[in-house]
Amino acid sequence: MLDFLKQNTTPTQASMAPILPEQIYKQGILELQDVIAPSALKITPREINLGDKIARTFFVMSYPRTLTDSWFAPIINLDRVLDISVFIHPIDSSEILKKFQKKVAEVQSQIMTREEKGLVRDPILDTAYRDIEDLRDQLQQAEEKIFDVGVYITVYGSKVEELDKAESEIKSMLESRLIYVKPALFQQEQGFRSTLPLGRDELAVDSKLNSSPLSSIFPFVSFDLTSDKGILYGVNRHNASLVLFDRFSLENYNSVIFAKSGSGKSYTTKLEILRTLMFDTEVLVIDPEREYEFLAQAVGGRYFNISLNSEHHINPFDLAVPREDESAADILRSNIVALVGLFRIMLSGLTPEEDAIIDRAITETYALKDITPDSNFAEIEPPLLSDFEMVLAGMDGSESLVQRLSKYTKGTWSGFINKPTNVDINKKFVVFSVRDMEDDLKPVAMYIITHFIWNAVRKVLKKRLLVIDEAWWMMKSDDTASFLYGLAKRGRKYYLGLATITQDVDDFLKSPYGLPMITNSSIQLLLKQSPTTIDNLQKTFNLSDEEKFLLLESDVGEGIFFAGLKHVAIKVIASYTEDQIITSDPSQILALRKKRDEVPQ
């Protein structure tokens, strides 16, 4: 009756008939192999069609007399989808020695026959005899072993033409080294299965190799960039190896990060900070967008909001206490030079005459407080900006300077820097936010904060990292850029690493100090870039066209990591806990705040 129904049911009726779960079960159980199997399979003499992909398998059939190290690296690093299997079958040394004895006798016999006939010595026979004798001695002394080795390569593509191109690339790379490969004609099925992770050598095309040349086939030779200590910066996108570095073990401790907005530069920096703090390193951050506040709270650090209405103040006239290898005169002179640069920024430039007046006025302001090169800077009370204004007002030719300076001492901006310092940075993690500072004053604020940090760094020798986010603000002025470059050059002496991050690449590189900052940074990280800046970066970093397009097409947290002359494609990854602490994604931040609000107090 069931057969009759099957034969006489129309397609519409059949499609409308319900299929019971019991029927599905009786027809068969869906297993993992059913899920991963291709939709169709077609085997031809030269390739296998796997659904919408085509695979072709090759085997290595011949090797030269000697194999160079890493000869297989170009194939492993080939920018194509491929599978490689290396089968190594050990051969008993006693058996191979018997064959060698016979082979030595044959070669020796051929050499003697040629000598008896008076023929010229054959260099091929002489070389073969020496090689066999040397290898036989090494086998007898257990210095070498002999193996049957099969090397199979399966490449994948969407079209036959793509496979032909891949075959041509592989052959040209290997044949230039006198290594020859052939496609597994009429054995594509066996070849394909041999390169699957099943451990079965169904192709069985072997060559005999001793231990030394066999070691040159070691497959894990794709280019990586790592050291034996440090923090995890990310994962090599090419081979999934770890990009592990300690910036304090390099020739200098500086780094630069270039990335467009939203590409993950702050996320990457916060991840580095979080991991750096675990290695007894103090971290200080100049934060222009208030992105590091939650991180400071999470790790028990300090957060200072620097603005016109802030309760936190920094006096630019503060002097660092000299170290044993420094003199008070050097500290005073260095601070006077830095203050001249500060006033040049504050007053929108100085003429040579005004520069000289400012320099003399600073010296006299310190003298007003009995501060000389012979003073003990640990016990002095530094002057304020209003003291400097008073001295400056009593000098000839200073009328314009006093008038321009008054807005910092009496006007709207008077609450900014005309007060004693009340900021304590005696913590492992300290953040200075300038988000609420007016844009016109941000370069001034960043300069003052950076100089304050520099004085603290010089006071006590510790391992420190200074992070300057949106560093293009400081590169807009030659004075701030020059000071930043000075930190990059001198920081190593004080165990200070400088990390500069910017999204405005053009402004950074337009500065005469932009390129020197890059060359004085042992670590450079390029994340996703915009088309408007990529050509400038390509020229600066000598990127290939492939690397240029990689940066244009990278996802968030992806880019190129440079350490010295070497570089790799990198993907920045974080654990779940790290991600919850450092995320800058507004949707994630709102979700976290909502979750915290829901927790009962």
Q: Which of 281, 246, 288, 243 is nearest to 266 (CA)?
A: 288
Q: Same domain, yes or no, for 84 and 169?
A: yes
The answer for residues whose C-beta is within 8 angstroms of residue 317's C-beta and 6 or more apart is: 335, 339, 365, 366, 382, 383, 384, 385, 387, 388
Q: How far is C-alpha 409 from the chain's CA centre?
A: 46
Q: Are residues 17 and 130 in the same domain?
A: no
Q: What is the 3-state secondary structure (H, E, C) of 156-193?
A: EECCHHHHHHHHHHHHHHHHCCCCEEEECCCCHHHHHH
Residues 143 and 199 in one domain: yes
Asked whether residue 456 is domain-assigned, the answer is no
- Statement to judge: residues 13 and 91 lie in one domain: no
For 31, how many CA atoms within 13 A lie in the half-sphere containing its CB? 4
Reduced 3-state DSSP string for 287-306 = ECCCCCHHHHHHCCCEEEEC
Decide: helix, strand or coil at residue 526.
Answer: strand
CB 484 within 8 A of CB 470: no
| Residue after which a domain boundary falls, among 196, 215, 234 | 215
d(CA 119, CA 342): 90
C-beta of residue 588 within 8 angstroms of C-beta of residue 288: no
Q: Do 76 and 23 fall into the same domain?
A: no
Give tens-digit pLDDT for 66-122: 787 778 878 877 778 889 999 998 888 777 777 767 777 777 777 788 777 777 777
If asked whether residues 55 and 24 sit together in one domain, one would say no
Residues 111 and 211 in one domain: yes
| Shared-domain flag, residues 173 and 206 | yes
Of 374, 400, 420, the position where a domain reaches its end is: 420
The rounded mean pLDDT for the chain is 84
Instruction: Give the pair of three-digit tokens for residue 247.
Output: 């910036």
CA 124 to each of CA 104, 180, 510, 592: distance values in angstroms, whole numbers, following the listed order: 14, 20, 64, 75
Give me the numbers of helices (H) and strands (E) for the chain, helices first please: 26, 18
**Inside any domain, residue 410:** yes
pTM recorded for the entire structure: 0.65
- Asked if residue 188 is part of any domain, the answer here is yes
Contacts of 63 (CB under 8 A, 6+ apart): 178, 179, 207, 209, 213
The pLDDT, as a whole number, for residue 601 is: 52
CA dihedral 304, 305, 311, 314 (to 10 degrees): 70
Indicate whether 571 belongs to any domain. Answer: no
Residues 92 and 206 in one domain: yes
Helix or strand or coil: residue 331?
A: helix
Residues sharing a CB contact under 8 Å with residue 407, sequence separation 6 or more, in sequence order: 413, 414
Q: Does 65 share its domain with 108?
A: yes
**Do 21 and 118 sit in the same domain of this protein?**
no
What is residue 270's predicted lDDT score, i.e. its pLDDT?
A: 93
Give the model's pLDDT for residue 13. Answer: 43
> What's the pLDDT at 599?
55
Question: Does 397 reside within a domain?
Answer: yes
Residue 499: which of 520, 477, 515, 530 has the closest Cα? 520
Q: 10-residue block means of pLDDT along the chain (601 residues)?
A: 38 48 61 76 91 92 82 79 90 76 74 78 76 72 83 93 91 90 93 91 89 77 70 84 87 91 89 92 91 90 88 88 82 90 89 91 90 83 90 89 87 78 89 88 89 87 91 85 90 92 84 89 91 88 86 90 85 90 72 61 52
Residue 261 domain-assigned (yes or no): no
Domain boundary (158, 187, 215) is at 215
Query: What is d(CA 599, CA 597) in angstroms, rounded to the nearest whole number?
Result: 6
**Three-class DSSP category at 421:** coil
Q: Is residue 348 part of a domain?
A: yes
Q: Which residues contact 556 (CB under 8 A, 6 or more apart)?
A: 262, 263, 264, 267, 528
Is the domain of 88 the same as that of 23?
no
- Give the structural domain span for 18: 2-33
Per the structure, how many domains does the chain have? 3
In a domain? residue 576: no
Q: What is the CATH number of the domain that holds 320?
A: 1.10.8.730
